[in-house]
Structure 1
């Protein structure tokens, strides 16, 4: 991204955060530094410290900005579908901005995160879950989403890669039958239509929400 001189007196917290979001989308979390953001703005890096005490503060503001823009389902959306829509949107956000999941936002979330948590917990409680159950399920879902996003960059190249899966089958076929009968059986049963990372995400989400779906239907 080519730097464009920011006119004197117009540098603001909002402009800095917006530029940091651009850098994150292009270069990932490691690319977001006070210097890199300042370079894009074509200002001295020290000028950013008038608005943020440290890089960590900028990263927190960046997360808050992105979470504040996460689309939420409209009122009246069935609880399970509301949770599903929000989780999908969060996953898409993590894929769009590599490394976002690595930012530690601490124990007191900013408003952007709070609005998402409020909507998720409201949907879980509306479905009939008790508070401990809702807290536990959401914790598991959050870890699942982060794990899928973390794995995605390295794994999505495997999707429908026949060369890769043929190598996997061949490798499993060479395992000693007496020691690894199940893995050999698994290799022999692999077909060419392996699931994409998005399909794996959807299947995992279905599994996590299955008890909630059953509960809602019974209700």
Structure 2
């Protein structure tokens, strides 16, 4: 006897004439944060919105244009300090801290921004201001560019570390304790530093923003020669 498949519930559609670019971008950010860039398609976005795929195309010509718009929407969250007000080192720290917060709260933003050429006023404005702040702090042309790259490398790496640690802690309980046990079980004669510092190593992996601030302060002071 063949069992009848349960009827699929009808997709809840949005009322006519209520779809607009802001609603689409909000749904795109939600979809990206939840499912990642691999699952980000125009069809998946349409399903998230409860509309037909062509309704999304009526506002954005394709995935590339939509991806650029999402990246700019997210970068608009970066807080840029008032030009010429305050110590350059403090303002550099403020911009980088805001970028870290964006990347760790919206991991998909990293993939969008690093997989496509720099475009859009928001991304250009962030880069331009950081370079200007590094120059105003007294760095030469080459030093300012290299310092900018170093700050971005640190920020991206820290955000990825934070995101992965958070997701692992959400999936598994007692991660820190298991890491500590694993390290302390190593032969001390072969790994004296790991076994000695096991409690500290197991704790720092979950410190996220606190650990980021620790490194950021020292990195900025070192780059500026302070």
TM class, shorter-chain normalised? 0.7 to 0.9
| 1:133-144 correspondence runs (5 A) | 133-144=143-154
User: Given the superposition, is the C-alpha separation of residues 35 and 130 from structure 1 closer, same or farther in structure 2, using an over 3 Å criterion?
Assistant: same
Q: 1:57 to 1:3 in 2, by over 3 A?
A: farther
Give the equivalent residue in structure 2 for 1:62: 70
Counterpart-to-counterpart distance in 1, 2:202 and 2:188: 23
The match for 1:172 is 183
Matched position secondary structure for 2:91: helix
Q: Does 1:148 align with 2:158?
A: yes
Cα deviation for residue 25 of structure 1 reads 4.2
Deviation at 1:166, TM superposition (A): 4.1
After superposition, the C-alpha distances for 1:50-101 in whole angstroms (9 at most, x for unaligned) are: 4434323211110012212322112303111111111111111122223210
Task: Give the aligned partner of residue 197 of structure 2.
Answer: 186
Distance in structure 2 (CA, Å) of the matches to 1:205 and 1:155: 19
Aligned to 1:114: 124
> Are 1:28 and 1:97, in contact at CA under 8 Å, matched by a contact in 2?
no
Measure how far apart 1:213 and its partner are: 4.7
Q: Which moved more, 1:66-75 or 1:190-199?
A: 190-199
Displacement after TM superposition at 1:201 (Å): 0.7
For the 8 Å contact 2:92–2:133, the answer to whether it is kept is yes
RMSD across aligned C-alpha pairs, in angstroms?
3.0
Q: 1:85 aligned to 2:94? A: yes
Match of 2:42 in 1: 34
CA contact (8 A) 1:70 1:90 kept: yes
Counterparts of 1:126 and 1:54, CA distance in 2: 40
Q: Using the TM superposition, give the Cα deviation of residue 26 of structure 1 relative to its aligned residue in structure 2, in angstroms.
A: 4.4
SS at 1:190 equivalent? helix
Q: What does residue 123 of structure 1 align with? A: 133
Could you say if the C-alpha distance between residues 128 and 20 of structure 1 is closer, same or farther in structure 2, counting changes exceeding 3 Å? same
Answer yes or no: is the 8 Å Cα contact 2:180–2:202 preserved in 1.
Answer: no
Alignment size in residue pairs: 211
Which segments of 5 or more consecutive residues in structure 1 lack a partner in the other structure?
Answer: none
CA separation of 1:190 and 1:40: change in aligned 2, threshold 3 A: closer
